[in-house]
Copies of this chain bind each other. A is one copy, B any other.
């Protein structure tokens, strides 16, 4: 069979890797205090039994499957239950709850692994001729419901896995541009670039299990976007397979031009299209020389509003950091609680000396906010950036604490999804919602969102948790990234919906967007009209209807009005 690897079918990441807290003494007390979950007594769920899943038979006609095998080879078509299940959901909390509770409303019928763009074209043409539905699949890390078939889909559903298109094809060193196949996973493409001294600079939390095609299709953003830009800036050229017509292939080609005034930007229609306009097979991406120096500095602020104001001031200054991030007091508490046991002088510094200094400044230790700011470039540049930022931090009452926490941040940055599975194993939800808004609205968005989540928890009569950090600074605003958690009652998805919906509604009610970098899918589409207006949605609807009149390309995603939710 095909050698494309996938995450485990019931959770994040690969088997054998998981979150544990044996070396983090503050973690269990923190969880008990935050959501009332006692890790000492909590029952850990058994790994779900794949054979217990209820899965309808594949609706793919044998002749269609045979035709696909004729294109990609027998080894690269699959209709077996495991392949179908792995490709039917992403890794949202809703996905994991459903899959653990045997709630698969509509699995994909057949999975295809084409070897190259020519095979993608043939698969697309065969699927359209069959009037099948095509859902492109990258790393499977999506958390917006972008990968699942519509629950009521009566046609054959084909998951088109790009996993075999995973090479960096060429690097244009003079232009800082790399042609990269859409199915290349973050670590694989970054290793290929690093080997020649380059980096893509795009590091979303999902990096280890997401692909460049997926990043483009969901209009994603990575944690160093302050320097490298969002994926919409990083993606310059695109190749997208659409149905052949008039005897010619259907490859849409956007050349890698640095900037153009060629009408409405088709590039910016493909970026964020979640498979609805065709199958992205190749991206020409901006790449950068690996920087001479890189440092993540940590700072503390006395409170959230001081931290927000400092980030805004940095964005307006001459400084050009690669990362700006500040956690609210609750997330700061969480970070400290997930730190490993310290010993000797380290312990003294972190647990005695530092709090002492803060108290002597009159800070309330319950309000302190941890911030990470990253710098890259030549030594002189980094030095000057640190100085510029250091002065702004000081102006806002903050203090620098060196690189220690930043090193930890760099090491832990891709681990958060494992923690979600850890909680889920113990009957608790842990999930995220992120947004962006102008600087002037961030405090209001923050307050309203915290209040909305707490209102939902009160309605449920439970003790819930919500924390936040600001990241991804822009000239006119920034992203707020919320993480929330609570112990499930009897109806996990109803409870989850109540909390998640309250948060999303707070975003749009306060002038923030429904998603800064996770995409729309079906998870966020109910709020799209409140975000980009009725006419904005109408324009999108027309675009999809005209580009895909047969609704063959991932129908039901992005646009509101098509709900595929299944209660688990």
Contact = CB atoms under 8 A, between A and B. Distances in A.
Interface of A: 172, 174-177, 218-221, 225, 230, 232, 236, 240, 242, 248, 250-274, 276-278, 286, 288-289, 312, 316, 318, 320, 377-378, 381, 384, 436-441, 472, 474-479, 511-520, 524, 528, 531-536, 538-543, 545-547, 558
Given A258-B477, A265-B265, A268-B269, 12 more contacts: A174-B438, A177-B476, A221-B259, A251-B533, A254-B532, A259-B479, A263-B558, A264-B272, A266-B532, A269-B543, A288-B475, A289-B316
Nearest to A441: B175
Contacts of A236: 476
Nearest to A242: B535
Contacts of A261: 218-221, 272, 515-520
Contact of A263 (B248, B264, B520): B520
Contacts of A512: 257
Contact of A539 (B277, B472, B534): B277
Contacts of A540: 263-264, 266
Nearest to A477: B258
Contacts of A277: 264, 539
Ranked 8 nearest A-B pairs via Cβ: A542-B546, A268-B268, A252-B535, A258-B474, A258-B477, A175-B438, A219-B261, A174-B440
A547 B531 CA distance: 19
Nearest to A229: B475
A260 B436 contact: yes
Contacts of A253: 532-533, 535-536
A242 B534 CA distance: 11
Most buried by B among A242, A272, A514: A272
B262 A515 contact: yes
A531 B270 CA distance: 16
A270 to B, nearest CB: 7
Contacts of A316: 176, 289
B476 A312 contact: no
A251 B384 CA distance: 47
A406 B112 CA distance: 60
A560 to B, nearest CB: 11
A286 B532 contact: no
A172 B218 CA distance: 30
Given A264-B277, A381-B318, A257 B437 contact: yes
A166 B394 CA distance: 41
B475 A176 contact: yes
Given A174-B312, A176-B476, A542-B547, A265 B272 contact: yes
B543 A257 contact: no
Contact of A265 (B219, B225, B289, B528): B219
B260 A476 contact: no
A124 to B, nearest CB: 12
B257 A265 contact: no
Contacts of A534: 248
A175 B440 contact: yes
A262 B272 contact: yes
B219 A286 contact: no
A213 to B, nearest CB: 15
Nearest to A285: B476
Contacts of A175: 438-441, 476-477
B532 A262 contact: yes
Nearest to A524: B262
Contacts of A176: 316, 439, 475-476
A264 B268 contact: yes
A380 to B, nearest CB: 8
Contact of A320 (B232, B270, B286, B320): B320
7 contacts: A232-B259, A252-B535, A261-B520, A263-B528, A277-B539, A288-B475, A543-B547
A545 B546 CA distance: 8
Contact of A262 (B278, B479, B528): B528
Contact of A259 (B441, B516, B533): B516
Contact of A436 (B248, B259, B265, B273): B259
Contact of A250 (B248, B531, B535): B535
B533 A254 contact: yes
Contact of A257 (B263, B286, B513): B513
Contacts of A172: 438, 440
Contacts of A250: 535
A271 B21 CA distance: 50
